[in-house]
Structure 1
């Protein structure tokens, strides 16, 4: 017999999944770290837990508060755009400099730097707040009591499934990225994605 809470769970799960699958700065970063096999578990855990925290805040009612604070959204938008432009420049430099093309064969990068970048991609992106806190939070109003909690749980589980699937699934592409040219293409694409998202953020002001 299907639980009466199942519709709430699957509503949260599939909505959450649809919001994070789109190619974005955070996903591009996790993909690259997965290909390099550097700090994959901790970075995927940070992304998933951060999403869970924001989803919980939205379901609890913070979404309404964020939506009524345009100044806060403006500050986060400008900060996020500046960070994305900086990371885009780093990605383009990696693609241009020959030594950066052999990243898969070098020693591991600093975990501290990777974690800092991961947190920045997560919390300096205003779309994260709009998607997880405002949108998911406001749509949770259609459920009451336990159903609302189950809805939020479904959205949180979707984040864990996606980020760990992306981080560890990237290893299947490793034979392709054994070639330096593939790393050049990836970094150019990452730089273009970061630049496009940054410009999109500024245009939204």
Structure 2
């Protein structure tokens, strides 16, 4: 092969490699969908083991939540803000996300001691900002046919979570099961025989997604 043909062949391979890389990148991007889910309420099981996010189309039952419900019921709750990150959804309808609790402003000695005991970290300089991050995991269920009773308090304003759904080429998505959340005769929400209690979350900006 002469020098001219060698250079042309090398250039063609390089161009092919760039094209392949671009196609792979585009293919990866095309397998992720972003969906907005309107949320009507957050609930925790009274045994403190599960957090349930009730959406208009789906329910998200989180069973790996650490001590999040306990902290949200602590004396710190009136000063806590909470924010959900994206919910990442895989082909088996397993969902994972992140909840960040934050407390800003001057704190008393008692509050500072409580924050430290609960595992919060102070990251502020001019202003104290106490933060604790939870990694939560669970399962998505279909909310078809479920109606939240009027007796259950709803948010004062619309709130949404963003669900980031991945689609792997050649992998079939599992069927979404119907929600295990049911309504008892007295109007109480129940999950697997355990009563669900509403959790009041003061949510930070809906636009600041991680």
Q: TM-score of the superposition, structure 1-length normalised?
A: 0.22
- Higher relative contact order structure (alpha carbons within 8 Å, sequence separation ≥ 6): 1
The structure richer in helix per residue is: 1
Q: TM-score of the superposition, structure 2-length normalised?
A: 0.22
The structure richer in strand per residue is: 2
